[in-house]
Structures are given as C-alpha cells and as structure tokens.
A and B are shown apart, each in its own frame.
Chain A
Amino acid sequence: MNTLATPLVELADLRKTYNAGLPNEQEVLHGLDLIINASEFSALIGPSGSGKSTLLNILGLLEGASGGSYKLNGSDVTTFDDDARTRARHATLGFIFQFHHLLPAFSALENVMLPAMINGEGTGKATRERAAWLLDAVGLKDAYDKKPNSLSGGMQQRVAIARSLVRAPRVVLADEPTGNLDTHTSDSIFELMRQFNREQGTAFLVVTHDPRLAARCDRIVELVDGRIASDRANVAQA
C-alpha cells in the first residue's frame, strides 16, 4: 500500500446532524478524520446504526455534511452546490448498491453505458466497446441485451459493478454489494472488485457486515456510534 500517494478522499472533523434545530435533532457522525488513498481497497465495518450508510452517502456526494471538511481529489466539496456536486460525483466516483439498482427499462449493456450517456459521451462506439469489455470482464458475455429482470441476483450485481466502472472512476463506493447474495456468489463478486482494483488501480470502499470479506481487504475502518473506533491495515492481506 502506497501511503505517499495523493489522498483521494480527505475528511477532517466531519460531522452530520439530522433535523438540525428541531427537537429530534440527532448527530450521527461526530467528527471523523479519514484519508483514503488511490488504489486502496478498504472495508468499512460497524454495527447497524453506526453511521456507515450516512458516511457513504456523504463520501458519494449524495448528501452534504453538517460540519468539518471533505476534500475530494484535492478540492473542498463541502462548498459545492448541487450541480457541482453532481459533476464531481460523475467525474470521480462510482457506486455499487446493495440491491444493485439497475434500471429495469434498459438492457444490461445500456445500464452499463448509462453513466457515460449522461454527459453526452452518448452511445458512441468507444463507450459501447468499453461497456461490452466490462460486461465480458464480469462474465456476462451473453447477457448484453437482457433486461435486469431476466438476470439472477448475482448477475445483476455484476452488471452494477460494470456500470460503476464504465467511466473509470478513481474510487468506487460499494454499499453491502454482496449483502443479499449467497456465499459462493459473494466470493466471486468480491473477487471481481479486487481484480479491478489490482488491474485498474481503482480505489474501493466496501461497506460490509461479512467479517470473511472484510478480512480480505487491505484496510479495515470500523465505525461505532458515529466515531471511527479503529482503522487498521489488514496485514494478513497486505
């Protein structure tokens, strides 16, 4: 692991409060400091309600922070408006959700191409080739034109992985990507992410409840009650 690399993600005293100013005000993140470097493959673990999803949403620029600073790729994104956040998200980040979240109206190949279409890269040959290459890489050579509903859960998650990588993001945020898959499928999905991490240098931050998977990451960040309880390099793996 290269600790000298430019930090991709740099959180300092990051806080998140819901319902600020209301009687039910609740601070769920109490000042986090976290640095994620390029090409890192990290696990984010912790009990339910510890703030993992909130942290992932903030990192993914889907939610704003309530305090502290968040530098993504060197620029402070806490001051960004919605459009700027969307552009930064589009340029730097990839998402994999627990329930794969593919668009049912689009074929597998189209789902993978979607993030590229958004900024007008459109349906060009280059985009199509990259999408096809990614689908091949996740083992879905024969499923280009299949609609998500006709694919198994594991296959849908593979499409989602391909989609998260189509724009070659610097970091992929994965929210329990294997949460609803059987062990065997989980292993192969996890292995796919590791493979892209090795080959493309994409950083991954994987939220997981599965200690088996966490044990196979380079680094394990543990969140408890909105605070980082531990952050350690997984020596066994590294």
Chain B
Amino acid sequence: MIPLGFELTVALRFLREGRMQSALIVGGVAVGVAVIYFITAVLVGVQGDLIKRVTGAQPHIVLKPPEEIVAPLIASKANAPRLPSVQAKPQRLITLDGWPVIARQMETTPGVTAVAAVASGAALALKGDATRSIVLLGTDLDRYQRVVRLDDKLKSGVLRLEAADALVGIDLAKDLGAVLGDRFRVQSGDGQSDVFQIRGLLDLGSRELNRRYVYVNLRPAQSLLNITGRVTNIDAGVDDIMRADRVAARLRAVTGQQIESWIQTNPQVFNAIGNQDIMTILIRSFITLVVALGISSVLVVSVVQKRKEIGILRAVGATRGQMMRVFLWQGAIVGASGALIGTAFGMLLISVFSRILRNTSGEALFTLAFDTRLSVIAFIAATLLGLIAAVLPARNAARLDPAQAIRG
C-alpha cells in the first residue's frame, strides 16, 4: 500500500473502484477547462485584432492645444439681448508652444511608454496632373516608432525620414501614379510648398488612411505648415491599452492640456470589447457552475453507493472528519486531474482552430502559446472547485449513521 495517509489512500481507491464514473466526471472537468482555455484564446485573438485594427496607425493618447471657442459677450446683464445663435469659429491650425517641456512631463508620467511630437495639418499632394488632399504628419521617426509602429506597416521601401523623405499610404501613391523613389510636391494651405521623395509605402490598415497619410520629417512639416519651432500635437503610447483613459486623466492633471485617448475617440470599440469581456466572464462562470454541479452529483451518488464501505470504515474506527476528508480529497483529485487533462485538450483545440480561424487580414486569429499563468490558475481553481463541490457529499458521508449504513 502506498504510504499516503488513510484519507488520501481511501479516496484514490474509491475513485479507482468507480472507474467509469470517475473517468466521466474527470472528462467533464477536462472539457470545461479546455473550453475556458479555448474561449480565452479566441477572445484574446479577436480583441487583439480589433485593437490593432483601430489603434494601428493611431496613437493611444493625443495631446492637443485647447480649442478656440466663441465667448458670448455681455452675458450677465439681465436686459441684454439674447443672441439667437452663436456661430462656432473656424478652427485655425493651433500650435503648442513650449512643447518640449510638456513632452518631458508626459514622458515621466506613469503608464506612458513613449512620447513623440507631431506637426500635422491638411495639405495637397501634387504630381503631374494629379492633386490629392492629404494629412501631412511631420515627426521624428525614431520617437514616433515607439508610439505607433510603422515598421510592421511598411509594404515596400525603407523606413527613413531624413530631410526630404516621405512615407506615404499605398493608395495615395496609386492615386498619384507614383512609385517608390518618385518625387512629388506637397502644398500647404498657406501656399508654401516643398518636394519629397517616396521612400516607403505603408499599409495603415484602412483605405481612408492609406489614401491620405503622408509622413515626413518634423522640420519640413513645420515650415510647410508655417509653425516653425512648434508642433500641433504630442502623441503618446501607454503600457496597458485598456487603461489608456486612466493615463489620459493622469496626463490631463499633470499637463493641464487637452488630452484624448483612443478610448474617447472610439467609444463603440471600447464598449464592444467590454461587452465581450462580460460575456466571457458569464460563459466561464456558467461552465464553472456546471462543472461544480457535475462533480457534486457524481460524489453524492458515490456516497450512496459506498454507504456500506463508509459504515465499515466508521465501525473499524474512522471518525466523521476522516470520512469527510476522504470525499473532499476525491473532489480535489477530480478537479486537479481534470485541469491537467483539460489543459492538454485545450492546447489541442487551440492548435487545431488556430489553423482554421483567421483574422480580418487573413492571419491566424491566435497562436498556440502555452500560458503558464493561466495553467497554474486553472489548476488551482479547478482543484478548489472540486474541493468546494465535494463539501456537500462529504458532509453526507460524515453524517451517515454507521449502524444503519452497515445494515445496508
């Protein structure tokens, strides 16, 4: 006999004796655990894809100068004539003075991973007969890359933004009839113009962006937009994208400037992700509940089946507490072994479906990755669940009257 202690030994023997029953319930736990793995992987894949799509070419956080608003005149006097309507001012290109100070403040704010100053504005791109309206973004490429990655969006050419280099959206290049290495003219609203050479073509994830975005160096952008030495906004990246709004609030407090996070600009996406999370929590809870009920019911039946054995063990000296622990052990063992098998099964499901399920750009929706943290959590949770599910049957076992149980 294995030197395991009385309760554990008896628990293991009971489980082994009811082989079919034990196999079925361990299988049930395993399926539950596997499904939780699977939906977690799908959810992470779908949300990652969605966030990537939405924030792909967009910084997590943008600091903008205050908007110009129309202040109502003489509003305090009681007999003042009421203005029937107030026309909003047309927005000029407003610039941030003293931006290096603000940028440094932002950089040191917790949660912020990188900061890049941007001079951006509307402009026209001209090549031959073609004229297209564009969004001109002037920035320091190295810094900007840490806020919004461009290297993974580069379809051809090189990532380089020296003096007269430009990175343009692939559709804009097509519209202009330009190819890599071609030069084109950019003209701003003020009539200033400059010539750039296309160094790289970018796929920014949406046709709208691909038709309008032109990245250039900060300095030529500043002079084109007539804001030499200044910038129009400061972009920042955060460590936890789902908490971008908290970092934004922090930055608002630190800088006193107008700050927008991607969550504010895309509330519907953020809500959709939140709803998915709630659904997943619900599904997980129900699976957990079903698994717990399954373990409980099998053990309740087992207590009835083992009435006589329980009676004998009590007669030869086992206490109520010991009988209780025999069944608690069984619950824990079922939970733990179900978690182990379920982890393997979950991995299998993920590896099969990662070949079938594709994201919007045709890549695998998720990749097979053994999540050690999730596995440890699943193992502990399933063991505890088994233990809790066994409480009721264990109490039944402990309460059995030995004299009656032996009589049959």
> Top 3 A-B pairs ranked by shortest CB distance?
A90-B317, A105-B13, A62-B403
B315 and A62: CB pair below 8 A? yes
Scan A140-164; emit 1 where CB is below 8 A from any B CB, else 0.
0000000000000000000000010
Instruction: Flag whether B402 is at the interface (Cβ < 8 A).
Output: yes
Mostly helix, strand, loop or mixed at chain B's interface?
helix
A contact residues around B320 at 8 Å (CB):
82-83, 86
Q: Is the CB–CB distance between B16 and A105 below 8 Å?
A: yes
Set of chain A residues within 8 Å of B14, measured between Cβ atoms = 105
Q: Which residues of B contact A63 (CB under 8 A)?
A: 401, 403
Q: Are A118 and B16 in contact (CB under 8 A)?
A: no
A182-211 CB mask vs B (1 if < 8 Å, else 0) is 000000000000000000000000000000
Number of A-B contacts (CB under 8 A): 77
Expressed in whole angstroms, the Cα–Cα distance for A89 and B314 within the complex equals 9
Complex CA gap A123/B14 in Å reads 18
| 11 pairs from A and B in contact (CB 8 Å cutoff) | A57-B403, A63-B401, A86-B317, A86-B319, A101-B312, A103-B13, A105-B16, A106-B13, A115-B316, A122-B6, A123-B1
Minimum CB distance partner of A91 in chain B = B317
Q: Which residues of A contact B (CB under 8 A)?
A: 53, 57, 60, 62-63, 82-83, 86-87, 89-90, 95, 97, 101-106, 109-110, 113-115, 117-120, 122-123, 163, 167
A121 closest partner in B (C-beta): B6
Given contacts A95-B315, A105-B14, A122-B3, A62 and B309 within 8 Å (CB-CB): no
Known contacts A63-B403, A97-B406, A105-B17; is A118 also within 8 Å of B3 by CB? no
**CB–CB B318/A86 < 8 A:** yes
Q: B1 contacts A120, CB within 8 Å?
A: no
Give Cα distance in the complex from A195 to B277, angstroms.
Answer: 73
Residues from chain B with a CB closer than 8 A to the CB of A117 are: 1, 6, 9
Q: For A104, list chain B residues within 8 Å (CB).
A: 17, 309
The answer on a CB contact under 8 Å between A118 and B318 is: yes
User: What is the distance, in angstroms, from B284's C-beta to the closest C-beta of chain A?
Assistant: 35
> Contact string, B304-334, partner A, CB cutoff 8 A, digits 1/0?
0000110111111111111000000000000
Contacts of A167 in B (CB 8 A): 317
Contacts of B2 in A (CB 8 A): 123
- Min Cβ gap A74→B in Å is 20
Q: List B residues at the A interface (Cβ < 8 Å).
A: 1-3, 5-6, 9, 13-14, 16-17, 308-309, 311-322, 401-403, 406-407
Contact B402 A62 (CB under 8 A): yes
- A60 x B315 contact (CB < 8 A): yes
**For residue A53, which residues in chain B have a CB less than 8 angstroms away from its CB?**
407
- Shortest distance in angstroms between A129's beta carbon and chain B's nearest beta carbon? 14
- Which B residue sits closest to A101, measured CB to CB? B312
User: A57: which B residues are within 8 A, CB to CB?
Assistant: 403
Q: Given contacts A62-B402, A63-B403, A101-B406, is CB(A120)–CB(B6) below 8 Å?
A: yes
Assess A90 versus B316: contact at CB under 8 Å? Given A117-B6, A118-B322: yes
Residue on A nearest B321 in the bound complex, by CB:
A83
**A174-B93 Cα distance, complex, nearest whole Å:** 102
Q: Chain A contacts of B309 at CB under 8 A?
A: 103-105
* B313 contacts across to A, CB distance below 8 A: 103, 114, 118
The answer to whether residues A118 and B13 also contact, given A95-B316, A101-B312 and a CB cut-off of 8 A, is no
Beta-carbon contact of B319 and A83 below 8 Å: yes
Assess whether B312 is in contact with A119, with CB atoms less than 8 Å apart: no
- B311: chain A residues at CB < 8 Å are 101
Residue numbers in A under 8 Å from B5 (CB-CB): 120, 122
> Which residues of chain B have C-beta atoms less than 8 A from A89's C-beta?
315, 317
Q: Which chain A residues lie closer than 8 Å to B321 at the CB level?
A: 83
B319 touches A113 (CB 8 A): no
In the bound complex, what is the Cα–Cα distance between A105 and B306 (angstroms)?
Answer: 11
- In the complex, what's the smallest C-beta–C-beta distance from A195 to chain B, in angstroms? 22
Min CB gap B41→A, angstroms = 40
Rounded to whole Å, the gap between the CB of B315 and the closest CB of chain A is 5
A113 to B402 Cα, complex, angstroms: 20
B9 CB to nearest A CB, Å? 7
